[in-house]
Amino acid sequence: MGLLSEGSPLSWPETKELADHVRKHGITQFINLYNLLKDRQGDVLKWGDEIEYMLVKFNHETKKAQLSLRGQDLLPVLQITEKETPEKATSLWRPEFASYMIEGTPGKPYGGLLAHFNIVEANMKNRRQEVCALLEKDEQILSITAFPRLGCEGFCVPEAKPDPVNSASRSLFFPDEAIYLAHPRFRTLTRNIRERRGEKVAINVPIFKDINTPSPFMEDLTVLGDDGEKGRSALPDHIYMDAMGFGMGQCCLQLTFQACNIKEARTLYDQLTPMCPIMLALTAASPLQRGYIADTDCRWNIISSSVDCRTREERGLEPLKTNRYRIYKSRYDSIDSYLSPEGERYNDIPLVIDQEAYKRMRDAGIDHLLAQHVAHLFIRDPVSLFSEKVNQNDEEDSDHFENLQSTNWQTMRFKPPPPKSTIGWRVEFRPCEAQITDFENAAYVCFIVLLTRVIVTYGLNFLIPISKVDENMKRAQKRDAILNQKFWFRKDLVSQSSPTDAESTARQEQICVEMTIGEIINGKGEEFQGLLPLISSYLSTVEVDADTHCTIHQYLRLIQKRASGDLMTTAHWIREFVTKHPDYKGDSVVSEGINYDLLTTMNSIQNGTIECPSLLDHPRTKTQSSIPETIRMAENCPSTC
């Protein structure tokens, strides 16, 4: 989840005092990095996935499933190979926000060879096995986005009680023990975000109203020691949550690409932006929150509220007195501006920027689009700072830049090369929700990577006004968005011609139309070709071995059927599981027993002991752990690639 500086965390008042210092040096560091690396060329396409996992402990006697707070026990062991013999590491492991979470990536990035698509899933399986080897009896690792009863009484083991008076979050539900405490970053972020905001974070998710759900739905939380804030913050007919952990304690699937140079990185950043809401809807997997069925399918807005450090003034609830800006979005949200010259005309939402930072970057020769992007990230205060890191060498360090960059959690992230490394300009694709199986996670990853190949090879253009992408983000999170919503998408992906600035907004709007995700992915007759047919025609022009071909085919079929609604999204399947469960009382409640049955079923689907055709069909990929030598040679690639 970002920069893991070691050291002694400063309090919020101390951090606030140093905010200008961090921003000033952060900008100097960015300018230095930019000047050093702006002309860097010739990096090859490399890419990798990141999956966040949850550790779950099952009690098969009492029929209970709880989150196991053992991340800090497992990580040091999981990291031994990387530390001692990094060349042998097939997976890399990092802590995440919660002590029941861990994050895994492949040991080495994948490259440009098509055969790499055939080792993604095997690597994911192997990653899981590395963890399984360390688990206790009845403990499992699950790649699920949301734990259905997160924050309910006894949701974790060892059991821990929330402390609304002294804990970092002051939550009524989420104890500090569920935060990953072996690194100070996460608890510090929790406390500082709350203190900066001036009150607890408030998350309100619309509840799914079933036949027996009380109306209005309003919980009495006084028994939990309600501190009065709940009374102010909780909305009727919503599931109320009050801690960073409810958001950052959810898991996702991310992808990072290395581009050949900064220009290509900007293009990929922009071109993938309109795909963010589409992929969010396609991967929707989190309809259960704090023991209730929500009326939404995705984690996005929940995480957004869970780290919303804006004060009342910044949120526009009070006139600006002590703060600098009215800020329209949380630090975790969709991006606000495109970065490539082609994207510029579609930057149509207000962009608040740090003027001083902008001017310094412009004076240093950085172009308008990049300067405004960074100056926008820099309207935020740092929310975690370590005393040992306050004074840095701006020629060599980039921690102050990274501090703000890594606490702007947006749908896309534009990443400059780290100082003194062999890594190039990268972009990160961050909207997807984690799926139950390695097959699905691999399928989504390969689909997005293939799409970037198609975009770059054919020079396709996906750009639509940013305001339309934001509108799509809202629609993507609605219940069954795949079945019920339409999304703005560019009509003509091939033509580069776009209305000029001088032309009217009305004309700009004509470049996109509303379509279902089925139409966007699979095509709409003569009117729209569809993304999968484009990928298929690309694949028909390149050499690919039979096994990889078979695997890719299965991945694309999953995407095709999820998009058309022939297969369920994870969210839809979870809803159905709960509402059809014999114990379910039509009251929107996910009981302990339903939670147990759901998670054991998900675990069995994951490890293949039960099939789930309504979600997956009958996948049998030919994934393997390494690329056979003959194929390497056939694709004319040295064994290091």
**Which stretches of the chain bind ligand GLU, using CB under 6 A?**
1, 52, 248, 250-252, 299, 303, 409
**103 vs 121 by CB, closer to Mg ion:** 103
Of the pair 430, 490, the CB lying nearest ligand GLU is at 430
Q: Of 106 and 530, which has the nearer Cβ to ligand GLU? A: 106
The amino acid sitting at 59 is N
Minimum separation from the CB atom of position 408 to ligand GLU (A): 10
Residues 497 and 488: beta-carbon distance below 8 Å? no
In the complex, what is the shortest distance from the CB of residue 430 to ligand GLU, in angstroms, rounded to a whole number? 6
Smallest separation (angstroms) from Mg ion to the CB of 52? 5
Question: 234 vs 279, which CB is nearer to ligand GLU?
Answer: 279
Interaction residues for Mg ion, span 47-106 (CB under 5 A) = 103
Smallest gap from residue 96 Cβ to ligand GLU (A): 7
CB under 8 Å to 95, separation ≥6 — which residues? Answer: 4, 71, 72, 75, 101, 102, 103, 180, 182, 183, 186
97-136 footprint of Mg ion as x/- string (CB under 5 A):
------x---------------------------------
Token representation of residue 216: 């209005």
Q: Which helix (H) or strand (E) holds 65?
A: strand 64-68
Of the two residues 267 and 411, which places its CB atom closer to Mg ion in the complex? Answer: 411
Place of tokens 């009342």: 312
313 binds, among Mg ion, ligand GLU, none (CB under 5 to 8 A by kind): none
What residues pair up with 260 in beta bridges, in sequence order? none
Element (H, E) at 592: helix 592-606
Distance CA 388, CA 209 (A): 51
Closer residue to ligand GLU in complex, CB, 52/295? 52
DSSP string covering 450-505: HHHHHHHHHT------HHHHHHHHHHHTBTTHHHH--EEEES-SS------TTS-H
Q: Cα torsion at 277, 280, 286, 287 (round to 10°)?
A: 50
The answer for residues whose C-beta is within 8 angstroms of residue 292's C-beta and 6 or more apart is 207, 208, 239, 588, 589, 590
Residue nearer to ligand GLU on the CB measure, 269 or 409: 409
The site partner of 178 among Mg ion, ligand GLU, none (C-beta below 5 to 8 Å per kind) is none
Residue 150: CB minimum distance to ligand GLU, A: 13
Q: Closest CB to ligand GLU belongs to which residue? A: 252
CB of residue 74 vs ligand GLU: minimum separation in angstroms? 18
Nearer to Mg ion, 53 or 346 (CB): 53
Asked if 249 contacts 101 with a C-beta cutoff of 8 angstroms, the reply is yes
Q: Residue 250 CB, nearest distance to ligand GLU (Å)? A: 5
248 touches, from ligand GLU, Mg ion, none (C-beta below 5 to 8 Å by class)? ligand GLU
Pick what 409 binds: ligand GLU, Mg ion, none; C-beta below 5 to 8 Å, kind-dependent.
Answer: ligand GLU
Q: Does position 313 bind Mg ion by CB under 5 A?
A: no
Beta carbons of 98 and 169 less than 8 angstroms apart: no
Using CB under 5 A, list all residues that contact Mg ion: 1, 103
